[in-house]
């Protein structure tokens, strides 16, 4: 009997290993030749494997290599995890899976290692123990926001993590990186390890310890999205206190029962009241009373907006720094990929040139109106010496990710390299929207708003902008604000419009900042405040936004709250016009 089981295991493992090998051949999974890794150092030990840090070829950047102790018996689980990773687009707060490598051992057998993004600050628990004293409330709120953001991404894809705790959440460059989407849970089920429940007793949904339901019937409780919300509540508390919950007590059945009966940690001094409300709602004993992750995200967002609005100058600098960081990351990627990898294996790069370009081009759309997109694409390609034909061909052949689907939609909409085809653009936006691409979603909203490739339908437009806003897209929040401002698919509500522009601005969206400036200028949803309006336009102008330059010019032209300065006004109109903004060109010709 036991022999049969063993044979079945080996057979199955062969089947899954074949799947891995085939995916590598078909280039669905990138393969990294082990001989190009150097400086390999063990950095962590989990229950199922060991994690190493290594450099790839001559690069100074680290990658993480994950080795599983019993690869053969858990191949199926690992393959499932690989499939999950492959389904996901790039998300800033989820550890990136780059591919696979294999090492031939002394007995000629092969062992596989997963190649992943390396998190330089280690686990969240370690990070808090090391850096908590230096964290401001802004930093803590950002950590909480990023964590909730990552879970919202999983939940939208109908993935439940089920094993959230501060030792399997990583931090890279002060940014949260989620890992292990329930992989350990599934391995655990398979290997009959019972230790986990008590190891993680303080993070796990206490209902799992409840043997009876409300009718006193024996129940088997299944962990769900609501269970992840419970864990988020605990983690938000941990971020505010800097220490793991009940860290001075034994993690045993007694503690589990007390938690089930309602025992919770106490708020830490100076925690904002609204933040306490969020995590206490999350750790409510009754799963149905817990909020959804999108509600958590929105509430955190509101607190962050309020704090940031009180200290506007500080956030603007953060926006600049974040933008610099993002472009730095992209540049670093380009550097590793292009210069430091053996040319013979350059097709197996972490991200190839075109993938990077697609991400970069799309990121340029965040802060401009849709009509300005073509101008940006053309400029970008000119600056990078790439013809639109080359990128168009690449997009046609690489339609497996939502960014390239969306960008092909943009090419169809503007007729770049092909005739304008609004119907096709609409279909492509729809496809990328179905994959939860926020640019796809907001562009689909725009199609419905203006009747592009479909009948105009303002209710639908509102619905899609709302969907993007629920995914905390700064652009979605801005679009939704416009719906309330102009009554698109919803009744006009100035107060709501103002609040949405505030949220969008706090996430750094320059159009959101401009519209917030507009609200202060015109007294929409708030009192007229020229000073605030001027400051907002000024900030977005300093970040190079054409719309802000245009609006700021009027302050100088008309001497609103400041000294009239016509030459400064002309200079700003010129700057805006140089970026292709038509209204600024008209003004200059007046
Ligand atoms: N991508 C990574 N970058 C940096 N360090 C990592 C990375 N992945 C894992 N580690 C480190 O290696 C340790 C072991 O990770 P591993 O995923 O094997 O187990 P775990 O998540 O800690 O626990 P479990 O065995 O319950 O899944 C982690 O605690 C962390 O310190």
Q: Residue 98 sits in a domain of what CATH number?
A: 3.30.200.20
Which residues are annotated as part of the binding site?
66
- Does the C-beta of 487 come closer than 6 Å to ligand 1? no
The ipTM assigned to this model is 0.96
Whole-model pTM above 0.80? no
- Percent with pLDDT over 70 in the chain: 85
What mean pLDDT, rounded, does the chain reach?
A: 83
Q: 220: domain CATH number?
A: 1.10.510.10
| Span from the CA of 46 to the centroid of ligand 1 (angstroms) | 6
Q: What is the pLDDT of residues 334-348, one digit of tens each?
A: 333 323 333 333 333
Residue 294 lies in a domain: yes
How remote is the CA of residue 588 from the centroid of ligand 1, in Å?
59
**Sorting pLDDT into bands at 50, 70 and 90, what band is 197?**
low
128 and 104 belong to one structural domain: no
Contact 96, 117 (CB under 8 A): yes
Is 48's C-beta closer than 6 angstroms to any atom of ligand 1? yes
- Comparison of pLDDT for 322 and 230, the residue scoring more: 230
Q: How confident is the model at residue 23 (pLDDT cuts 50, 70, 90)?
A: confident
Question: Same structural domain for residues 113 and 139?
Answer: no
**Which tokens sit at 239?**
């971020």
- Whole-number Å distance, alpha carbon 417 to ligand 1 midpoint, is 46
Rounded distance from Cα 72 to ligand 1 centre (Å): 20
C-alpha dist (Å) from residue 282 to 203, 209, 272: 12, 18, 16
Which ligand 1 atom is at minimum distance from the Cα of 177?
1
Q: Per residue, what are the HEC states of 299-320?
A: HHHHHHHHHHHHCHHHHHHHHH
Could you tell me the distance, in angstroms and rounded to a whole number, from the CA of residue 187 to the centre of ligand 1?
A: 15
Q: pLDDT at residue 90 above 80?
A: no
Residue 144 falls inside a structural domain: yes
Q: What is the pLDDT of residues 104-123, one digit of tens each?
A: 877 777 788 989 999 999 99
CA of 336 from ligand 1 middle (Å) equals 24
Q: Looking at the domain assignment, is residue 162 inside a domain?
A: yes
Cα distances from 232 to residues 48, 148, 432, in angstroms, run: 24, 7, 29
Q: 358-409 pLDDT, tens per residue?
A: 888 998 898 888 988 999 899 889 888 888 998 999 999 888 889 999 999 9
pLDDT confidence tier of residue 48, bands split at 50, 70 and 90: confident
- Extract the tokens encoding 471: 């995914």
Q: Are residues 126 and 250 in the same domain?
A: yes
Residue with CA nearest ligand 1 atom 15: 46
Tens digits of per-residue pLDDT, 200-243?
889 999 998 887 777 777 778 888 999 999 999 999 999 999 99
Q: Residue 458: inside a domain, yes or no? A: no
87 and 227 in a single domain? The answer is no
Minimal-distance CA residue to ligand 1 atom 31: 44
The pLDDT assigned to 352 comes to: 55
Cα three-residue angle 116-119-125, rounded to 5 degrees: 130
Specify the higher pLDDT residue, 5 or 223.
Answer: 223
Q: Are 58 and 74 in contact (CB under 8 A)?
A: no
Indicate whether residue 298 lines ligand 1 (CB < 6 A). Answer: no
Instruction: Kindly state if the Cβ of 118 falls inside 6 Å of ligand 1.
Output: yes
- Pair 234, 160 in one domain: yes
Asked whether 93 lines ligand 1 (CB < 6 A), one says no
The CB of 183 under 6 Å from ligand 1? The reply is: no
CA of 184 to the centre of ligand 1 (A): 11
Same domain, 160 and 79: no
With bands split at pLDDT 50, 70 and 90, how would you rate the model's confidence at 311?
A: low
DSSP class of residue 420? -
Cα-to-centroid distance, 256 and ligand 1 (Å): 25
Q: Is the CB of 442 under 6 A from ligand 1?
A: no
> 262 pLDDT exceeds 80?
yes
191 within some domain: no
Quick check: is 377 in a domain? no
Query: In this structure, is residue 131 part of a structural domain?
Result: yes
Asked if residue 208 and residue 94 are part of one domain, the reply reads no
pLDDT on residue 69: 76
pLDDT of the residue at 342: 34
Q: At what angle do helices 373-383 and 388-397 cross, to 10 degrees?
A: 110
Please tell me if the CB atom of residue 163 comes closer than 6 angstroms to any atom of ligand 1: no
Q: Which residues are annotated as a binding site for ATP?
A: 66
335 CB near ligand 1 (under 6 Å): no
For residues 506 and 238, what is the distance between their CA atoms, to the nearest angstrom? 24
Secondary structure (DSSP) of 216-253: S-B--PPP-HHHHHHHHHHHHHHHHHSS-TTTTS--SH
Residue 511 has pLDDT above 60, yes or no: yes
Judge if 79 and 228 occupy the same domain: no
Nearest atom in ligand 1 to the alpha carbon of residue 118 is 3
Whether residue 170 has its Cβ less than 6 Å from ligand 1: yes
Distance of alpha carbon 561 from its chain centroid, rounded? Answer: 40
Answer yes or no: do 126 and 248 share one domain: yes
Give, for 37, the enclosing helix (H) or strand (E): strand 37-45
% of the chain at pLDDT higher than 90: 50
255, 281: one domain: yes
Last residue in a domain, options 117, 134, 159: 117
pLDDT band for position 89 (cuts 50, 70, 90): low
**Residue 108 placed within a domain:** yes
Q: Is 184 a pocket residue for ligand 1 (Cβ < 6 Å)?
A: yes
Pair of tokens at residue 374: 């073509």
Give me the mean pLDDT over the 428-433 stretch.
Answer: 96
Q: Quick check: CB of 305 below 6 Å from ligand 1?
A: no
**Structure-token pair, residue 521:** 């200028």
CB burial string 461-481: b at 16+ within 10 A, e below: bbbbbbbbbbbbbbbbbbbbb
Look at the chain and report how many structural domains it folds into: 2
**Pocket-testing residue among 94, 170, 178, ligand 1, by greatest number of atoms within 8 A of Cβ:** 170
Q: Are residues 109 and 128 in the same domain?
A: no
pLDDT at 88: 66
Residue 13: which pLDDT band, with cuts at 50, 70 and 90?
low
The pLDDT score that the predictor gives to residue 568 is 93
Which range marks the domain in which residue 44 is found?
A: 12-117
Model pLDDT, residue 86: 67
Q: 73, 99, 117 — which closes off a domain?
A: 117
Determine whether the shortest distance from the Cβ of 74 to ligand 1 is under 6 A: no
Is the domain of 150 the same as that of 256? yes
Decide which of 66, 87, 117 is a domain's last residue: 117
**Higher-pLDDT residue of 349, 31:** 31
């Amino acid at each position: 009997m036991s022999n049969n089981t063993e044979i079945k295991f080996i057979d199955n493992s062969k089947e899954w290993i074949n799947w891995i090998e085939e995916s590598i051949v078909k280039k669905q999974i990138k393969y990294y030749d082990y001989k190009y890794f150097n400086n390999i150092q063990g950095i962590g030990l989990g229950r199922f494997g060991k994690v190493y840090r290594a450099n790839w070829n001559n690069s100074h950047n680290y990658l993480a290599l994950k080795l599983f102790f019993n690869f053969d018996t858990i191949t199926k689980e690992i393959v499932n995890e690989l499939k999950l990773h492959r389904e996901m687009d790039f998300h800033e707060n989820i550890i990136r899976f780059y591919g696979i490598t294999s090492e031939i051992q002394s007995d000629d057998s092969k062992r596989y290692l997963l190649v992943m993004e390396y998190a330089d600050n280690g686990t969240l628990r370690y990070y808090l123990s090391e850096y908590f004293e230096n964290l401001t409330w802004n930093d803590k709120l950002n950590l909480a926001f990023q964590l909730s953001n990552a879970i919202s991404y999983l939940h939208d894809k109908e993935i439940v993590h089920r094993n959230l705790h501060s030792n399997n959440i990583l931090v890279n460059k002060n940014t949260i990186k989620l890992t292990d989407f329930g992989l350990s849970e599934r391995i655990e089920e398979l290997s009959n390890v019972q230790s986990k429940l008590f190891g993680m007793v303080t993070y796990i949904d206490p209902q799992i310890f409840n043997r009876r339901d409300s009718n006193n019937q024996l129940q088997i409780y299944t962990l769900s999205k609501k269970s992840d919300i419970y864990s988020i509540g605990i983690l938000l508390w941990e971020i505010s206190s800097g220490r793991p919950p009940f860290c001075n007590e034994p993690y045993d059945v007694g503690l589990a029962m007390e938690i089930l009966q309602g025992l919770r940690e106490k708020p830490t001094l100076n925690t904002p009241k609204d933040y306490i409300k969020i995590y206490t709602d999350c750790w409510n004993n009754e799963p149905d009373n817990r909020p959804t992750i999108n509600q958590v995200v929105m509430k955190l967002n509101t607190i962050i907006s309020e704090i940031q609005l009180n200290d506007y100058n500080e956030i603007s600098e953060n926006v600049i720094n974040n933008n610099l960081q993002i472009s730095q990351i992209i540049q670093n990627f380009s550097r590793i990929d292009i210069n430091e990898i053996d040319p013979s294996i350059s097709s197996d790069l972490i991200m190839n040139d075109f993938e990077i370009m697609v991400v970069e081009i799309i990121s340029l759309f965040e802060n401009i109106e849709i009509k300005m997109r073509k101008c940006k694409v053309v400029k970008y390609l000119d600056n990078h010496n790439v013809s639109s034909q080359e990128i168009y061909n690449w997009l046609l052949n690489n339609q497996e990710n939502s960014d390239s689907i969306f960008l092909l939609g943009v090419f169809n909409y503007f007729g770049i390299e092909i005739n304008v085809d609004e119907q096709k653009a609409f279909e492509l936006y729809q496809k990328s929207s179905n994959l939860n691409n926020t640019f796809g979603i907001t562009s689909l909203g725009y199609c419905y708003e203006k009747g592009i490739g479909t009948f105009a339908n303002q209710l639908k437009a509102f619905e899609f902008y709302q969907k993007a806003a629920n995914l905390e897209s700064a652009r979605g929040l801005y679009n939704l604000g416009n719906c309330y401002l102009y009554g698109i698919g919803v009744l006009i509500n100035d107060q709501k419009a103002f609040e949405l522009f505030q949220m969008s601005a706090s996430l750094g969206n320059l159009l959101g900042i401009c519209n917030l400036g507009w609200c202060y200028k015109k007294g929409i949803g708030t009192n007229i405040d020229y000073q605030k309006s001027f400051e907002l336009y000024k900030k977005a102008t300093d970040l190079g936004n054409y719309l802000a330059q245009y609006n700021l010019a009027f302050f100088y032209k008309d001497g609103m709250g400041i000294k009239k300065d016509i030459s400064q006004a002309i200079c700003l109109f010129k700057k805006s016009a140089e970026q292709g903004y038509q209204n600024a060109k008209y003004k200059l010709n007046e």
